[in-house]
């Protein structure tokens, strides 16, 4: 589904990502963990097209997308939830979902009702202004908005951030259901070990812009790799 081939990227003259190569196969739920400043958001921005790599290639469904602007990548079928969610606080829940549908309008499918089934709290609050909802509810809205146009790949940047623990578990379960029922491939970056272990099938570890390991989730807890590269 997604392949990164020796990707280097950064800000201006400051390199952040160094020779990142990874592969996310169709139907997988894959994660990347690393501490603050390790380069996780930079990697997400590079995949969605908000940052241009200085070298390397990005392939989506076997085709290079490295020259595509972000909106074309979205229309090819990549949904993205940024770290700060970027919901529109003055728009209602339903209006926010409509924006998500517009971003992916090339796709024939719209999943408004499916999203309300997965996230009943959003159904209850269809006409509520998004800015009045809790952090967890806003995160759910951001995920639903990224999914409403039926992308093939969903990218989540720290989905547990600013979300209370009970809702983190709920989000983990819903991401799993969406992956199973809709076949959506998922790639997320996180610092939260519990969320990562509960949600993922395979986990990459990043430290100072370099991939240092790849582990199954049941080896994450107590692992020396995690001690060395994740614990602050």
Binding site for ligand ATP (CB under 6 A): 11, 14, 16, 34, 36-42, 83, 191
C-beta of 192: minimal distance to ligand ATP in Å? 10
The Cα–Cα gap between 90 and 129 comes to: 6
| Complex with ligand ATP: residue 14 or 166, whichever CB lies closer | 14
Cα–Cα distance for residue pair 123/11, rounded to 1 Å: 40
In Å, what is the CA distance from 205 to each residue of 46, 60, 227? Answer: 17, 22, 11
- CA nearest 201: which of 29, 25, 2, 34? 29
Q: How far is the CB of 206 from ligand ATP (least distance, A)?
A: 7
Say if residues 144 and 175 touch (Cβ distance below 8 Å). no
CB of 33 to ligand ATP, least distance (A): 9
- Beta carbon nearer to ligand ATP, 146 or 206: 206
- Report, in Å, the least distance between residue 225 CB and ligand ATP: 16
CB 19 within 8 A of CB 6: yes
Question: What element of type H or E holds 172?
Answer: helix 165-182
- The CB-of-170 to ligand ATP minimum distance in angstroms stands at 22
Query: Which residues sit opposite 7 in a β-bridge?
Result: 20
Nearer to ligand ATP, 179 or 192 (CB): 192
Under 8 Å between Cβ of 190 and 159 = yes
Name residue 188's beta-bridge partners: 31, 156
Smallest distance from ligand ATP to CB 30, Å: 16
For helices 165-182 and 135-147, the axis angle rounded to 10 degrees is: 10
Which of 152/190 has CB closer to ligand ATP? 190
């Amino acid at each position: 589904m997604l392949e990164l081939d020796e990707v280097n990227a950064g800000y201006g003259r400051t390199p952040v990502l160094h020779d990142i190569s990874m592969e996310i196969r169709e139907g997988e739920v894959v994660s990347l963990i690393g501490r603050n400043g390790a380069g996780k958001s930079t990697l997400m921005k590079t995949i969605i097209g908000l940052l241009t790599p200085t070298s390397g290639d990005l392939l989506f469904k076997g085709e290079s997308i490295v020259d595509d602007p972000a909106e074309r990548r979205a229309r090819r079928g990549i949904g993205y939830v940024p770290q700060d969610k970027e919901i529109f606080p003055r728009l209602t829940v339903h209006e926010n979902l409509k924006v998500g549908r517009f971003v992916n309008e090339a796709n024939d499918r719209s999943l408004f009702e499916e999203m309300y089934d997965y996230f009943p709290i959003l159904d209850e609050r269809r006409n509520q202004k998004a800015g009045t909802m809790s952090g967890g509810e806003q995160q759910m809205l951001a995920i639903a908005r990224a999914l409403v146009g039926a992308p093939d790949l969903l990218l989540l940047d720290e989905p547990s951030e600013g979300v209370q623990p009970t809702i983190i578990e709920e989000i983990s379960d819903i991401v799993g259901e969406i992956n199973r029922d809709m076949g959506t491939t998922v790639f997320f970056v996180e610092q939260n070990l519990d969320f990562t272990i509960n949600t993922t099938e395979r986990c990459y570890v990043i430290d100072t812009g370099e991939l240092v390991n790849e582990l199954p989730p049941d080896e994450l807890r107590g692992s020396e790799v995690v001690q060395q590269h994740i614990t602050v």
